[in-house]
Chains A and B, each alone.
Chain A
């Protein structure tokens, strides 16, 4: 996992609430047994005019030029701003994989769905919860200014436009620590091997029908 301490990037605005993981990566692409290669199919049904299938040459497909990701001014963007309850629905981790593969490293929203929120941290994507008012403000600025970019400083928990502080944000200390250092949760948990084994012994004495 690539760590994030501070990230600066062009903002891509998707002005819509309750974006579900089916929209982020449609089901036909979930048949892959890999973690990579989902980027070209991120938001597939909104991004292309035809029906997409796995293992297709996406460069030959007709684009929906109205969709934000296809607009030249947002090319190379890596900070997604969106609305409430982003990532709701299915637990598919293919959703953050697709976002990451496309190049998104930070998502700003007024709230996230729980499973998606957790999945982001496991993949080096920083999900940031901001007040609705700040999100409104970022949308306005992004639409008004071509190439509008933001810097997200995880260490200081700040969102800045150039040197102007737009907002601070809350984040769980443990998740922050793992993201800044690119730590693998499994490696951390395996350090507790003894504690888990001790727990298990007592647990199955108490609840023998589960053993």
Chain B
């Protein structure tokens, strides 16, 4: 029978089935400092062992400072959490990139970068943006800390099957439109609960044309549409990206793997529970205006009137969002003035993101009203690559700050945050209340749109300025 990619990935990992609960095998476990300490503690208390230490790659990313790392971590609570990860990794003999390792970075950037993420794998991490890794034809999903402990000790998860959704993005993207805009427009279309209970497979010409980094951006945001697992079938781009990566298979094993990986596509005629078609030609640069990623409009659209929605709960929530954001319906994004700009996060901090942003910024200056414009590369290796290309100089000359890698102002667990009332153009993934700092106001955009916002001090249609290709 014709199978979807999800069904192929799922079935090869099933150990046991009991009614509709499955025991599935996990290949790769990515670990960071925030969601793991309680799991390691649980293992210790129950006197259990780690099942397969070599399945684990650990890295501190959420709490790490992006400046003055040589001085260590100033915040004592953050320091304890990172030291706890160091100790747990040492005690159990786990592969960890410590804070000052040149390979350190955001867990969802370093996995693929190292070839630790491979097609056909089940990949978990105590982080919802694990969906990122689905870009490689893998089944990757975020889990809670109890499940982190479960995977550490059993190498398995107890899970139900997801329903399957295909989102086909046809046509071609127009100039200035990015994977981030595709993600945001899909979330706007199906809502933040639209993917609940589903694994989403992205297909279509636009997806096939995307680079691996762009595919990661798209799969990363699947969770913002409610789906734990976004995924994209394997093609030549997947193989080209992975070949020669430090942990990718080599030689004869590589050849053998490739034969298997090429099968990781949905079969012709495979049935999905739900299919959605999107015309890529119609997608425009997106800007979120509210406190949920589904509250999103195109750069040339007005912020909607809450009263234009039928549902009373929606009306109330949209009005509450406008109040929090200190905005009025009817405003266009280019009427919104900004205080800070953040280019980074597991969504948009890879080399192509930085190149695209640098192209906009080159030979220009950050607007006077922007108090802080930050570039936080996704990993030490991304940072180094960018510096080799001179991107750091372009950003610094324009007035940006060039920082050390980590999650930074995506969730503001370290010192990088918004002050109450500050408004930020951000390339991250969540615009929830207080996400980037209590009282802070977040607008999600692509790296190009964030770069342009820094230069003009407000949102600007990047299609109308230089460097937007």
| Interface residue? B427 (CB, 8 A) | no
A23 CB contact (under 8 Å) in B78, B121, B433: B433
User: In the complex, are the beta carbons of A91 and B196 less than 8 A apart?
Assistant: no
A17-B254 CB under 8 A given contacts A35-B38, A85-B192, A122-B146: no
| Interface residue? B292 (CB, 8 A) | yes
What are the residues of chain B within 8 A of A196 when measuring CB–CB? 15, 23, 25, 51, 154-156
| Interface residue? B226 (CB, 8 A) | yes
Interface-facing stretch out of A67-75, A112-120, A142-150: A112-120
| Interface residue? A59 (CB, 8 A) | no
| Interface residue? A162 (CB, 8 A) | no
| Interface residue? B313 (CB, 8 A) | yes
What are the residues of chain B within 8 A of A111 when measuring CB–CB? 193, 196
Q: How far is the CA of A91 from the CA of B51 in the complex (A)?
A: 23
What are the residues of chain B within 8 A of A190 when measuring CB–CB? 48, 153-154
A90-B128 CB under 8 A given contacts A85-B192, A85-B193: yes
User: In the complex, are the beta carbons of A33 and B156 less than 8 A apart?
Assistant: no
What are the residues of chain A within 8 A of B420 when measuring CB–CB? 51
Q: What string of 1s and 0s marks CB contacts (under 8 Å) between B175-201 and chain A?
A: 000000000000000001100110000
Shortest Cβ distance from B219 into chain A, in angstroms?
16
Q: A-B contact count, CB below 8 Å? A: 184
User: In the complex, are the beta carbons of A195 and B15 less than 8 A apart?
Assistant: yes
Q: Number of contact residues on A: which range applies?
A: 35 or more
| Interface residue? B111 (CB, 8 A) | no
Q: How far is the CA of A124 from the CA of B37 in the complex (A)?
A: 20
User: In the complex, are the beta carbons of B192 and A88 less than 8 A apart?
Assistant: yes
Q: How far is the CA of A115 from the CA of B120 in the complex (A)?
A: 22
User: In the complex, are the beta carbons of B142 and A91 less than 8 A apart?
Assistant: yes
A31-B192 CB under 8 A given contacts A45-B434, A119-B146, A189-B154: no
What are the residues of chain A within 8 A of B197 when measuring CB–CB? 114
Among A31, A32, A123, max chain B CB count under 10 A is at A31
Among A32, A88, A113, A114, max chain B CB count under 10 A is at A114
User: In the complex, are the beta carbons of A31 and B63 less than 8 A apart?
Assistant: yes
Shortest Cβ distance from A181 into chain B, in angstroms?
15
Q: How far is the CA of A200 from the CA of B292 in the complex (A)?
A: 42
Identity of the chain B residue whose Cβ is nearest the Cβ of A189 in the assembled complex: B154
Number of interface residues of B (CB under 8 A): 75
What are the residues of chain A within 8 A of B70 when measuring CB–CB? none
Q: What string of 1s and 0s marks CB contacts (under 8 Å) between A168-211 and chain B?
A: 00001110000000000110111010011001100100011110
What are the residues of chain B within 8 A of A207 when measuring CB–CB? 120, 257, 260
Identity of the chain B residue whose Cβ is nearest the Cβ of A34 in the assembled complex: B38
| Interface residue? B145 (CB, 8 A) | yes
Within 8 A of A (CB), among B42-69: 46, 48, 51, 62-63
Among B25, B37, B158, max chain A CB count under 10 A is at B158
What are the residues of chain A within 8 A of B332 when measuring CB–CB? none
What are the residues of chain A within 8 A of B465 when measuring CB–CB? none
Q: What string of 1s and 0s marks CB contacts (under 8 Å) between B146-172 and chain A?
A: 110110011110101000000000000
Q: How far is the CA of A137 from the CA of B257 in the complex (A)?
A: 56
A192 CB contact (under 8 Å) in B15, B127, B227, B256: B15
Q: What string of 1s and 0s marks CB contacts (under 8 Å) between A129-150 and chain B?
A: 0000000000000000000000
| Interface residue? A16 (CB, 8 A) | yes
| Interface residue? A3 (CB, 8 A) | no
Q: How far is the CA of A185 from the CA of B148 in the complex (A)?
A: 12
Q: How far is the CA of A202 from the CA of B260 in the complex (A)?
A: 16
Q: What string of 1s and 0s marks CB contacts (under 8 Å) between A5-38 and chain B?
A: 0000000000111101011001110111111000
Among A18, A20, A83, max chain B CB count under 10 A is at A18
| Interface residue? B430 (CB, 8 A) | yes
User: In the complex, are the beta carbons of A22 and B432 less than 8 A apart?
Assistant: yes
What are the residues of chain B within 8 A of A62 when measuring CB–CB? none
| Interface residue? B444 (CB, 8 A) | no
Shortest Cβ distance from A26 into chain B, in angstroms?
6
User: In the complex, are the beta carbons of B127 and A91 less than 8 A apart?
Assistant: yes
Q: How far is the CA of A104 from the CA of B254 in the complex (A)?
A: 51
What are the residues of chain B within 8 A of A96 when measuring CB–CB? 144
What are the residues of chain B within 8 A of A112 when measuring CB–CB? 196
Q: How far is the CA of A200 from the CA of B256 in the complex (A)?
A: 19
User: In the complex, are the beta carbons of B153 and A186 less than 8 A apart?
Assistant: yes
Identity of the chain A residue whose Cβ is nearest the Cβ of B253 in the assembled complex: A209
Q: How far is the CA of A85 from the CA of B127 in the complex (A)?
A: 18
User: In the complex, are the beta carbons of A22 and B434 less than 8 A apart?
Assistant: yes
**Apart from the given pairs A22-B432, A85-B196, A192-B23, 13 other A-B contacts in the complex at a CB distance below 8 Å:** A15-B316, A22-B434, A23-B433, A45-B438, A91-B128, A91-B144, A93-B144, A114-B227, A115-B228, A172-B160, A196-B51, A209-B249, A210-B27
- A sample of 14 inter-chain contacts (CB < 8 A) reads A23-B433, A30-B34, A32-B81, A83-B313, A91-B128, A91-B144, A113-B226, A115-B144, A185-B146, A192-B16, A195-B16, A209-B253, A209-B256, A210-B27
User: Which 3 interchain pairs have the tightest Cβ spacing?
Assistant: A122-B146, A209-B249, A33-B37
